[in-house]
Amino acid sequence: MDSRLVTTITPNPAIDKTYWIPGFTKGINNRVNRLRIDPGGKAINIARILGGFGIRVKALGFFGGNSGKELLKMLESDNLIIEPIFVQGETRTNIKIIDWKLEDETEINEPGPFVTEKEKNFMRQKIDHYAQKSEFLVFAGSLPEGCQAEYYGELILLAKKYGCRSILDTSEAALKESLRFSPYMIKPNHHELSEIWGREISTETTAAIVAEEFRQAYKIEVIVVSLGGKGAVLACKEGTFHAIPPEIKPKNTVGAGDSLVAGIIYGLMSGYPLAESLRFGVALGTLTVTELGTSVLSPDVKKVSNFMKSVVIRRLD
């Protein structure tokens, strides 16, 4: 196993188009003030960030049609090492509309292609191969049509065969059905965890209590709950912690959760304790929302490390 290799898996990648439209109004002709096109998909964002930090990354995913080819070109231009599995359908395009006058954001996400059993088996074979070589396997984002809710769980079991630590960042049924496979770490936001818990999580204290309950019930070593502008909560065997970022005015929130996960992984690979890895992740996520775009393109370790001083870690238990 290569302790410096991370393999990311994006079953439903996308091309992200961000439109800035001041005074966006439905039902009329709106003019775009600014347009940005980025590679999309949670695990792809994580791979790009880690690659920018100098971590060796392999990125796996399902790619299809002309959109898939366009996305691959974008990623290759970023020097990201991709191992695509080509599918018959068309890679999706996601649209985000930002109206800075109203401080409002609207997202329109396509479902993605239908993935066949044969194509899913190709992915299983690649996971079996890279789980033997990687320190972490990162499964993130939504599942495309054709992938049952427990598909992530099946892949997590493959990673476990070789002692590879799996990290899961997804939502809804894909998250709920994967818990029983006990990944090393999950990173829901408080809304996603609330859905599974059945009640609203409105405070960091409640988030910590629920995260610890889930950690013990499903034998998950690390649970990180992102809280938006309130930072994130960590539950692990050492205790529960709340990382509190400084107050900032966000320019864009897409990719903040991906940066949080990437920062935690970088911290762990750099030998940081879990709480300090959380601090690094929250610092990186906070810096991300000050950027225009949907991911950090050229992350600066020194800048993030300096910004860590502004993130407060509070023990909750």
What pLDDT, in 10s, does the model give residues 1-35? Answer: 446 799 999 999 999 999 999 999 989 999 999 99
Mean pLDDT of the 229-248 span:
93
Taking a C-beta distance cutoff of 8 angstroms, is the pair 51, 79 a contact? yes
- Output the domain CATH number for residue 265: 3.40.1190.20
What is the distance, to the nearest Å, from the Cα of residue 186 to the centroid of all Cα atoms in its chain?
Answer: 10
Task: Identify the DSSP state of 17.
Answer: E
Q: Helix H segments across the chain?
A: 42-52, 65-77, 117-130, 151-161, 172-178, 190-197, 204-218, 256-269, 274-288, 301-307
DSSP secondary structure of 41-107: -HHHHHHHHHHHTT-EEEEEEEEEHHHHHHHHHHHHHTT--EEEEEESS--EEEEEEEETTTTEEEE
Tell me whether strands 56-64 and 104-109 are parallel, antiparallel or unpaired: unpaired
User: What is the rounded CA–CA span in Å between residue 1 and residue 317?
Assistant: 35
Would residue 258 show up in a list of annotated catalytic residues for this protein? yes
pLDDT for 216 = 96
Number of folded domains in the chain? 1
HSE-up (13 A, CA, CB side) for residue 109: 13
pLDDT for 165 = 96
pLDDT for 1 = 46
pLDDT for 97 = 93
pLDDT at 295 over 50: no
pLDDT for 101 = 78
Q: Which of 16, 38, 99, 258 is catalytic?
A: 258
Per-residue pLDDT band for 43 (boundaries 50, 70, 90) equals very high
The 10s digit of each residue's pLDDT in 126-162 is: 999 999 999 999 999 999 999 999 999 999 999 999 9
Alpha-carbon torsion (214, 218, 223, 225), positive or negative = negative
pLDDT for 254 = 62
Indicate the SS3 state at residue 27.
coil
- Of 9, 264, 262, the closest CA to residue 129 belongs to 9
Residue showing tokens 């992938």: 147
Q: Which of 219-233, 257-271, 303-317 has the lowest mean pLDDT?
A: 303-317
Q: Which amino acid is at 161?
A: K
Structural domain harbouring 311? 2-315
Per-residue pLDDT band for 86 (boundaries 50, 70, 90) equals very high
pLDDT for 251 = 64
Best-predicted range by mean pLDDT (206-220, 246-260, 288-302): 206-220
pLDDT at 173 over 50: yes
Mean pLDDT of the 294-307 span:
70
Indicate the SS3 state at residue 31.
coil
* 111: CB partners within 8 A, 6+ apart: 92, 144, 145
User: What is the rounded CA–CA span in Å between residue 40 and residue 74?
Assistant: 10
> Quick one: tokens of 115?
């993935």
- Of 153, 156, 135, 140, the closest CA to residue 267 belongs to 135
